[in-house]
Amino acid sequence: MIAKWFVEEEDTEKALEIKDLHVKGGVALLSPVLALFELGNVLARHPSITAIDSERAFGFLLDLGLELRSFAEPTLLRESFETSRRLRISFYDACYVALARRQRCPFVTADKELHRRVKRHCDSHLLREGLS
């Protein structure tokens, strides 16, 4: 979802609404630190983003005040691994799901198939439907 703040894709408008809500203090956004690596790749390699724009965007992301969580904790890594196996999702995606479950917060994804697989496991919301 965060990549949609910087790259025009399907549901970008909904993603920007959530970002704006965060900026205004309406919601807190929590994410695994993995999101920084994902966004770093997108911003550094996307053909439509200039070097200057990518540096600005990454700086904006760092200054946005996202609550980033490390996954160095063995308990959370085990939970992510078990979630990945049980729900047949990538370990990477399972890290986001496990964090949402642990923090008892909504999990928002633009991926319809991922949402379908995890919606009984956590408070999952499809981005296009918003947080309601």
DSSP secondary structure string for all residues of 74-118: HHHHHHHHHHHHHHT--HHHHHHHHHHHHHT--EEES-HHHHHHH
Give me the pLDDT at residue 130, please. 75
Give me the pLDDT at residue 37, please. 93
Give me the pLDDT at residue 74, please. 92
* pLDDT tens string 33-75: 999 999 999 999 999 999 999 999 999 999 999 999 987 889 9
Angstrom CA distances, 69 to 8, 33, 41, 125, stand at 27, 5, 19, 20
Of 105, 127, 103, 104, nearest in space to 115 by CA: 127
User: Percent of the chain, pLDDT > 90?
Assistant: 90
Domains of the chain: 2-129 (3.40.50.1010)
* Predicted confidence (pLDDT) at residue 132 exceeds the cutoff of 70: no
Q: What is the mean pLDDT of the chain?
A: 93
